[in-house]
Structure 1
Amino acid sequence: MSEEKEKGRPLPPAPGSAEHAGIALANTWQVFSGGTRDLLADRERASSWLADNGLIGQGAALGDPCTARLRTLRHHVRRLLSATAGASEPPEDSITAVNAAIKAAPSATLIAWDRERGLHRVVTHPVDELTDSLLAALAADTAELLCGPDASRIAACAAAPCSRFYLRTHGARQWCSVRCGDRIRAARAYRRKSSA
């Protein structure tokens, strides 16, 4: 498959990305042979990704500074996932960045009432703190993943140059998707055939 066709086709969700927003965030940076795709490259794409993942309402939009903050958090989340997948020491600045994002938003939920839902709990914040709350939610999910029972299942796709992370569904799993596995198997078959 050509580079342009590969870049144009959306990748299937990696195992674990539906349950962990931190994995989904990390996988917004995608590497292909000869190129990359950044699902957070600008505020329109970032807002679309957030809305598609239920993190903001449809029609809501981030500004450029908030989009840059989201990309910075992604960078630190990727570094922490990479360290965990490789069983190496996590970068201290990435731990600090994720902790700062968690602490930036109020965590207390208040009581609210409306006729449709009755009494319910809400986190209230001014509009300018929406990004803090969004980043805190993503960072908190990442912290739960890295410190919870799924941490030992975090893996980086072994189909170079793929840059995605996933949760292993079984011990032998090496790839984030069937697409990556098929690509590697096809390359192996081609090498065997051409060397014969």
Structure 2
Amino acid sequence: MKETATEETVTVEPPLPPAPGAEQYPSLALVNSVIAVPGGQFVDLLGTPAAANRWLTDRGLAPVDAGMRDMCAAQLRSLREQIRALFASRVEALPPLPAALAAVNDALTRVPTAPLLQWDEKNGPYRAAPHPTTEIVDHALATLAADAADLLTSPAAERLTACGSAPCNRYLLRHGRRHWCSTRCGDRARAARAYARRTRPTTDRTG
């Protein structure tokens, strides 16, 4: 899927609310950070370093002054596509792409998970996970990858589905029979079905 639009070139008015489950699982929010809009365009909430920094800051994954660079934003977008591929494989009951699995596992192993021994001159020894500024992006990627792994291996994965209203490309955690990520998408799907019924040939309706 080619995603070249940025949040500066295409806007969604009013903005879509988070899809069901996206506030609980940051990896779901990550996958949904590129939004298909009518006309074959995309809104990419990670389209620039500043936008990527803002997205991470909003989720407590980076400080406001992290100074995101192009390469860092590109790494985040790359992980997004690999997690999206894994979500698609899970929803469609298809084998996962090896590259997608490798990318998530690579992100998981980039940073140490065990709290290391630190030593403060004033208070003495203590244990804490290292989190220097230079590793902010690696920690964010590891956190998002771990969240995706948790989601895919949890009972909630049974409720993972793609929004059923074209052209929407967002994923959600289904509640009941709902297959739409927002009221807007639900209204659009119902309108499309009503239009299809009105325009169906008479012979099809009576036959």
Report the TM-score, using the length of structure 1 for normalisation: 0.87
Match of 2:149, SS?
helix
More helix per residue: 1 or 2?
1
How many angstroms apart in 2 are the aligned matches of 1:127 and 1:147?
Answer: 31
Match of 1:30, SS?
strand
CA offset at residue 192 of structure 1?
3.4
Question: Is contact 1:20-1:145 (8 Å) kept?
Answer: yes
How many angstroms apart in 1 are the aligned matches of 2:180 and 2:10?
Answer: 20
Which residue number in structure 2 is paired with residue 123 of structure 1? Answer: 129
Q: 2:47 aligns with which of 35, 41, 52?
A: 41
Q: 1:27 aligns with which of 32, 37, 44?
A: 32
How many angstroms apart in 1 are the aligned matches of 2:134 and 2:96?
Answer: 31
- Please give the residue correspondences for 1:1-196 in structure 2 after superposition, counting only pairs within 5 Å: 7-34=12-39, 35-110=41-116, 122-170=128-176, 172-193=177-198
How large is the RMSD of aligned CA atoms in angstroms?
2.4
Greater shift, 76-85 or 125-134, is seen at 125-134
Report the TM-score, using the length of structure 2 for normalisation: 0.82
Q: Unaligned 5+ residue runs, structure 2? A: 1-8, 203-207
Cα deviation 1:91-110 (Å, max 9, x = unaligned): 11100000000000111124
CA offset at residue 111 of structure 1?
6.5
Match of 2:93, SS?
coil
Q: Unaligned 5+ residue runs, structure 1? A: none
CA offset at residue 191 of structure 1?
3.6
How many angstroms apart in 2 are the aligned matches of 1:6 and 1:156?
Answer: 22
Percent of aligned positions with the same letter in both sequences? Answer: 44
How many angstroms apart in 2 are the aligned matches of 1:191 and 1:147?
Answer: 38
Question: Is contact 2:53-2:67 (8 Å) kept?
Answer: yes
How many angstroms apart in 1 are the aligned matches of 2:109 and 2:10?
Answer: 41
Match of 2:94, SS?
coil
Question: Is contact 1:106-1:133 (8 Å) kept?
Answer: no
C-alpha distance 5-106 of structure 1, shift in aligned 2 (>3 A):
closer
Amino acid at match of 1:145: L
